[in-house]
Structures are given as C-alpha cells and as structure tokens.
Structure 1
C-alpha cells in the first residue's frame, strides 16, 4: 500500500500539469506565440527566427538598383539606425513606414481628405496588381507580421541587431515597391 501512495505522490504533479496544459491549450499556444525569445540550456529561439524566414524570401528577390533609394530615404534609414540603438522595438515599428511611404508614392492610398494606408491594404494591392513576385509579397507580409508583434505585444523584445536586420529587409521591401511602376 505504501508503494501505491508513493507512486501517486510522484505522479500527481506531472499529471496535473499535463491535464492543465490540455484544458488551457489555446491559452498556452497564444502565450507561446507572444514569446519573442526562449532560452533553455543550449537551446535558444528568438525574434530572429521570423527574420530568418523573411531573409530567405529576400534572397530570392532581385534587388533594385541602389540609386532607386532616394536621399530622403537614406536619411530616414540613418535615423532608424540611431533609434535602434535606443529602442530596437520602436525602430522595427518605424521601419514599416518605409514600406508605407513607398506604397503611398505609387498611388496606394485611401481617404480623400487625409491620405492613409494600412498594412493589409498594401498586401492586397500588391497581390491584385500582379506586378510583384510571390516572394516579394511574402517578404512584405513577413515584415508586416513582425511589425504587428512589435507594435501590439507588450512583452515582445527585440535586440538591436535584429532591429537592424529588420530595417535592411524593410529597405529592400520599399525598394521593390518603388522600382515597380504603378
């Protein structure tokens, strides 16, 4: 009888944890989706995973000529690099404006009084135009998702190097939009 009690004691917590994880699986999934970095012993996953996915899309996209990037965009990129030193998360959010600006310059706006755009509208327009490769659309969608996480998840953390990598990808995405005639 004592052995049975010891077995029950040993299994009580693991069974309770598994049972609670099963009951709250949707909440646990949502919580894990919000984690920007994870480190356990020798294993580490982070914001960089999303960036790696976007970078692999960017590799297959033909880069527009450097001359396509206007001087005002170069100063904005320099400013974003300075912001990344202070607040990498803010730099990610602000880097998205490069894509929005490129889209607005090519006629993608809504609203008569105040011109505006939104991330989903940019993607819809790019897809509908038929002028962009699936890789370009996928890259901009990845950037949108990363930006959304940085904007809306309070516990989302970004390193300076990840913010700089995001900025490079945003510059490339904006250049692709700018290089395509509307």
Structure 2
C-alpha cells in the first residue's frame, strides 16, 4: 500500500499539468503561436519558421526586372545598416518598401494621404486584381512577420534573419511596382 501511495505522489503534479494543458489547449496553442523564439535542449522554434515560409512563397514568384535607382539602393543599404544595430527595427522599417510601392500603385489618390495600416495595404492590392494569389500570399506573410516584430515585446530576430526579410521585402516591393507599368 505504501508503494502505491508513493506512485500517486510522484505522478500527481505531472498528471495535473497535463490535465490543465488539455483543458486550456486552445489558449496554450494561441500562446505558443505568439512566442517568437523558444529553446529547450535540442528543440528550437523561432522567427525562422515564418521566414522560411515566406521564402518558399517567394520562390514561386518571378522577380520583375526593374532598374534600381540610386535612392532605392541607398535605402536598401540604410536598412542593412539598421539590421547591424537592431535587426528588429530593420524588419519593421523594411515594410516601408512595401508601403512605398503600394503608394505608387495607387493606394493614395490625390494630395491627401489617408491614414493606413498594413492590412489596408494588402486589401488594396487584392482589390486591384493585378496580383496573383502567390504574390498576395508573400505580401501577407511579410505583413504578419512585420506585425510580430512590431507588437510582440519578446520578439527576437538575428541580423541574418533581418537581412533575409529585407531581401523578401525588396522582392515584394518589386512585384508591386512592376504592376504599375
């Protein structure tokens, strides 16, 4: 009998934790989706997952041939310098490439520039009918990554990941600008 009591004592906490996890599984799932990086022994999940998905989407998109102006090259160099100092800030700032391209695509008409948000940009591009689902999917993935970088306080990005995001943002902006002509 004493042996049985010891087994129950040893299993009480693990079973309780598993049971609570089961009861709150949807909340736990949502919480895990918000985690930007997680590492325990050999298991690691991070920003890398979102970035890899966006890169896979970008492989299906043929980059339009556009002449890069000096200002665009300068802007990209500035973003690369920002990535050296603050990769997270570079991700947030790289989204401006998409915003600028959307503005050239007719998001803002006339002299008044309306207040906008990343979802509004995606909705505008979708409603224009000029973009394939793959192109819109890439822009949406970039938007989601940018949102995580902007709004999650514990979001961690390496310089290399920020530079990869920047390359994807340049490709996304080029796709949007190519539809203008």
The answer, yes or no, to whether TM exceeds 0.5 is yes
Q: How does 1:32-71 map to 2 (within 5 A)?
A: 32-67=32-67, 69-71=68-70
CA positional deviation for 1:111:
9.1
- Corresponding residue number in structure 1 for 2:96: 97
Q: Secondary structure at the match of 2:116?
A: coil
- Corresponding residue number in structure 2 for 1:117: 116
Long gaps (5+) in structure 1:
none
Q: How does 1:150-165 map to 2 (within 5 A)?
A: 150-165=149-164
Stretch moving more, 114-123 or 75-84: 114-123
Please tell me whether the aligned partners of residues 136 and 173 of structure 1 are also in contact (alpha carbons under 8 angstroms). Answer: yes
CA positional deviation for 1:109:
2.3
Stretch moving more, 162-171 or 7-16: 7-16
Please tell me whether the aligned partners of residues 102 and 125 of structure 2 are also in contact (alpha carbons under 8 angstroms). Answer: no
- C-alpha distance in 2, partners of 1:122/1:111? 17
- Corresponding residue number in structure 2 for 1:16: 16
Please tell me whether the aligned partners of residues 87 and 157 of structure 2 are also in contact (alpha carbons under 8 angstroms). Answer: yes
- C-alpha distance in 2, partners of 1:179/1:111? 21
Stretch moving more, 86-95 or 57-66: 57-66
Long gaps (5+) in structure 2:
none
RMSD between superposed Cα atoms in Å: 1.8
- C-alpha distance in 2, partners of 1:96/1:8? 55
Query: TM-score scaled to structure 1, two decimals?
Result: 0.92
- C-alpha distance in 1, partners of 2:173/2:112? 25
Please tell me whether the aligned partners of residues 100 and 117 of structure 1 are also in contact (alpha carbons under 8 angstroms). Answer: no
Please tell me whether the aligned partners of residues 85 and 160 of structure 1 are also in contact (alpha carbons under 8 angstroms). Answer: yes
- Corresponding residue number in structure 1 for 2:5: 5
**Count of residues paired in the alignment:** 181
